[in-house]
Amino acid sequence: MATNTIKELLTQGQSVWLDNITREMVQDGRLEYLIEEIGIRGETSNPTIFEKAIAGGTAYDEQITRLIERGKSAPQIFEAVAIEDIQAACDLFRPLYDRSEGGDGFVSIEVSPKLARNTEASLNEARRLWREVSRPNLMVKIPGTAEGVPALRQALQEGININITLLFSIQHYERVARAYIEALTARHQAKQPIDRVASVASFFVSRVDTLVDKLLEQKVQQATNDPGRRELLESLMGKAAVANAKLAYQRFLEIFGEPQFATLRAAGAKVQRPLWASTSTKNPVYSDIMYVEDLIGPDTINTMPDKTIDAFLDHGSVARTVDADVEGAREVMSELATVGIDIDAVTRQLEEEGIAAFDKSFDELLAGVEAKRQALATHAAAK
């Protein structure tokens, strides 16, 4: 029998979460199979995933028709179907959540991307989604923007599990790790339990290479008369994303190794695990599992779409890599600076582009739901 490399990752302290959700997989037993047989230990969703699921089939038509009859708008319809899917997925993951004592078995739902720059609205939506879904193994996604940090800190302090998303820079990662510790400290001082308050920091990976490689390629084209510089530029392609993530992991080890967290750990607190997001390879020149194989290690999560899971099961190898050759990662970042790549500017641009992309996906999602709503309403009227 072939080795199940997804389950084998657990021996290195890494959990795999599925970056996809559809009603079909919840209802036809596929999600249960992925949990029990493949070893998937959590699930994430976003507007793009829901748009494909709702617009791409008929699984939601019956519920949408009922909601149309009740006069619901496209945003209200989306939220109702999303909450039903998330609740059903949470229920399937609940035995794992209980067995792991709140360590895994989480399902994420996202606050509206349109609120990424609005602290109070993000907090209020997180509270409402937490209340509506009403499952202890829910995680609400809030972006780790400057405006998102106060919202996620307060939500965590109130006992809401938070998946902090859209992290690209080590500085922003550190900011949200500190916010988590501050929230737990406030709860602990108020004599509130902290053993089941969970959070992950979603650190985006592949998009860093996509942008850095583009900038390097422009510099290669300008270095036609300098073979040495050209060689250095080409050698740095496909290296930035993993190096950036490895150095973020080093900050994770430092922050959660400090005395302040030791006190919380003694009271039952869990670390806020780094979650490697955007781990499907965008450049076909690179290995399709490079962002899995190069970031394996304790207290981490890799969230993968189905295609990456299948690829890793087929030809992935498991070894602890996330803290291997850290000096090499530092050297990559140093060389990028030497050739004129400003990683801070890169990560700022990626955050802005990420917010815009999720915002656009949300608009497309609502347009898809509205088109579905109109088509079903027309069909019902024609009967």
Percent of the chain topping pLDDT 70: 99
Could you tell me the sign of the dihedral formed by the alpha carbons of 243, 326, 146, 300, in that order? positive
Higher pLDDT among residues 55 and 307, named by residue:
307
> How far apart, in whole angstroms, are the C-alpha atoms of residue 352 and residue 130?
26
Higher pLDDT among residues 376 and 70, named by residue:
70
Range from 45-54, 151-160, 224-233 carrying the lowest mean pLDDT: 45-54
In a domain, 310, yes or no: yes
Give the tens place of pLDDT for each residue, 133-150.
999 999 999 999 999 999
Residues 56-65 have a mean pLDDT of: 84
Confidence of residue 58 (pLDDT cuts 50, 70, 90): confident
Asked whether 219 and 236 are in contact (CB, 8 A), the reply is no
The first and second tokens of residue 176, run together, are 């949200």
With 90 as the cut, is the pLDDT of residue 310 above it?
yes
Strands (E), 147-287: 162-167, 199-204, 273-277
Tell me the three state secondary structure of residue 76.
Answer: helix
Tell me the C-alpha to C-alpha distance, in Å, between residue 10 and each of 40, 87, 149, 228, 249: 10, 26, 30, 43, 18
Give the tens place of pLDDT for each residue, 5-42.
999 999 999 999 999 998 999 999 999 999 999 999 99
Instruction: Annotate 259-320 with DSSP letters as a single string.
Output: HHHHHHHHTTPPP-EEEEES-S---TTS-TTHHHHTT--TTEEEEE-HHHHHHHHHH-----
In a domain, 383, yes or no: no
Could you tell me the residue range of the domain that residue 29 belongs to?
7-375
Give the tens place of pLDDT for each residue, 267-299.
999 999 999 999 999 999 999 999 999 999 999
Confidence of residue 383 (pLDDT cuts 50, 70, 90): low
| Predicted pLDDT at 355 | 92
Residues 342-352 have a mean pLDDT of: 97
Can you say whether residue 199 is alpha, beta or left, with left for phi > 0 and alpha for psi between -120 and 50 degrees? beta
With 80 as the cut, is the pLDDT of residue 313 above it?
yes
| Predicted pLDDT at 148 | 96
The first and second tokens of residue 278, run together, are 């955007």
In a domain, 301, yes or no: yes
Structure-token match 């400003």, residue found: 342
Among residues 294, 301, 147, 122, the alpha carbon closest in space to that of 208 is found at: 294
With 90 as the cut, is the pLDDT of residue 52 above it?
no
Confidence of residue 206 (pLDDT cuts 50, 70, 90): very high
Higher pLDDT among residues 51 and 95, named by residue:
95
- Is the pTM above the cut of 0.85? yes
Higher pLDDT among residues 62 and 98, named by residue:
98
Residues 73-92 have a mean pLDDT of: 93
Q: How many domains does the chain have?
A: 1
With 80 as the cut, is the pLDDT of residue 55 above it?
no
Where in the sequence numbering do the catalytic residues fall? 141
Residues 88-98 have a mean pLDDT of: 98
Confidence of residue 366 (pLDDT cuts 50, 70, 90): confident
In a domain, 77, yes or no: yes
In a domain, 381, yes or no: no
Residues 309-335 have a mean pLDDT of: 98
| Predicted pLDDT at 223 | 86
Give the tens place of pLDDT for each residue, 221-267.
998 889 999 999 999 999 999 999 999 999 999 999 999 999 999 99
> How far apart, in whole angstroms, are the C-alpha atoms of residue 109 and residue 44?
7
What is the domain-level CATH number for residue 136? 3.20.20.70
Confidence of residue 97 (pLDDT cuts 50, 70, 90): very high
Range from 139-143, 174-178, 317-321, 362-366 carrying the lowest mean pLDDT: 362-366
With 90 as the cut, is the pLDDT of residue 183 above it?
yes
How distant is the alpha carbon of residue 185 from its chain centre?
Answer: 25
How many other C-beta atoms lie within 10 A of the C-beta of residue 124? 15
The residue type of 295 is: L
Residues 201-230 have a mean pLDDT of: 95
CA angle, 214 then 115 then 300, to 5°: 60
With 90 as the cut, is the pLDDT of residue 101 above it?
yes
In a domain, 143, yes or no: yes
In a domain, 200, yes or no: yes
In a domain, 39, yes or no: yes
Mean pLDDT estimate for the chain: 94
